[in-house]
Amino acid sequence: MKKTVLILSFVLALSNIGCTDRDDDVELANIRIKNVSDLVFDMVQVGGDEMIHENVASDDFSEYLEYETAYRYNFIRIESGTETFTLQPIDFVGETPLTLGFYTYELDVDEEGNVLLNFVIDF
């Protein structure tokens, strides 16, 4: 019986070693871009000038960037080749800022050049 308890304790201890979630050390909203268009996004600005996602190929993801304040939608400027596409929200009245965590803005550009945003909560 002692062997069984000892083995079980050892297995449980091993299973807890290194078990951390990716959001254990997250203090801000982390946003990445998924390009769901047929274009290559040379540059995607989300919100402020310093929040730049670069070289996002079609059907690919950018890296996450940390945002002090972000919403389910945001100002977005996409540069692809010589073209620029913009999503300009009017205001954020009534919107609640995102809590800490991981999020994806799935971005597309329609035939008229409008930026389409689909907000996804990453788990």
pLDDT, tens digit, 9 for 90 and up, residues 2-45: 554 445 454 444 444 444 444 456 789 999 999 999 999 999 99
The pLDDT value recorded for residue 6 is: 44
Listed in sequence order, the residues at least 6 apart from 41 whose beta carbon sits closer than 8 Å to its beta carbon are 33, 35, 53, 55, 56, 57, 78, 79, 80, 107
Instruction: Specify which residues 73 forms β-bridges with.
Output: none
Query: In the predicted model, is pLDDT for residue 118 greater than 50?
Result: yes
pLDDT, tens digit, 9 for 90 and up, residues 57-113: 999 999 999 999 999 999 999 999 999 999 999 888 889 999 999 999 999 999 999
Query: In the predicted model, is pLDDT for residue 53 greater than 70?
Result: yes
Give the residue extent of every domain in the chain: 25-121
Sign of CA dihedral 85, 91, 95, 97: positive
Listed in sequence order, the residues at least 6 apart from 25 whose beta carbon sits closer than 8 Å to its beta carbon are none
Per-residue pLDDT averaged across 50-60, rounded? 97
Q: Round to whole Å and give the CA distance between 46 and 37.
A: 17
Query: Fold for domain 25-121?
Result: Immunoglobulin-like (2.60.40)
Q: What percent of the chain has a predicted confidence (pLDDT) above 90?
A: 70
* pTM of the predicted structure, to 2 decimals: 0.79
Q: Could you give the strand order of the β-sheet that contains 41-46, starting from the edge strand earlier in sequence?
A: 52-56, 41-46, 76-80, 83-87
SS3 5: helix
